[in-house]
Amino acid sequence: MPMIPEKSSCDSIPQEMLETRIDELIEAGWDVLYSDFDVRAFDRWRKRAFSCLNVLLGPDHTYTRSFGNYVEAAEEISLLVGGGILSAVKEDLAKSEAVSSNPATVTN
């Protein structure tokens, strides 16, 4: 059975742990993919990832809406799309963290 993070909703997570939580969700998605695609594990992963995006970004954010629209069916393509969205969120978090830690790097 694939490893699914127990606490993946992103509730009450300090900023420094958000990237770790996203990493866990990405890894859990790969576990589902390589588990001969366990549909129940996919459903758990999808719900936890969507919940995390809702808490982290809000329901109207492009990433949250895209995840909700394109990661519905328990199919490999949905899993890959969802993993891509989570990877984009991770990259954006890293960029925003770099900018906030060094505001002089911001260019207009």
Mean pLDDT in residue range 56-60: 92
Q: What pLDDT score was predicted for residue 94?
A: 81
Contact between 43 and 33 under an 8 Å Cβ cutoff? The reply is: no
* Domain map (residue ranges) of the chain: 38-101
Is residue 5's pLDDT more than 50? no
pLDDT for the residue numbered 7 = 45
pLDDT per residue over 7-33, tens digit each? 444 545 565 678 889 999 999 999 999
pLDDT computed for residue 20 by the predictor: 87
CA distances from 30 to 35, 80, 84, 97, 100 (A): 9, 9, 11, 26, 31
Give me the DSSP letters along 54-82.
HHHH-TTSHHHHHHHHHS-SSSHHHHHHH
Mapping DSSP to helix (H, G, I), strand (E, B) and coil, where does residue 100 land? helix
Three-point CA angle 47, 51, 56, nearest 5°: 150
Asked if the model's pLDDT at residue 104 lies above 60, the reply is no
Q: How does the average pLDDT of the chain come out, rounded?
A: 82
What pLDDT is recorded for position 40? 94
67-90: per-residue pLDDT in tens?
999 999 999 999 999 999 999 999
**CA–CA distance, 54 with 35 (Å, rounded to integer):** 27
pTM for the whole structure = 0.78
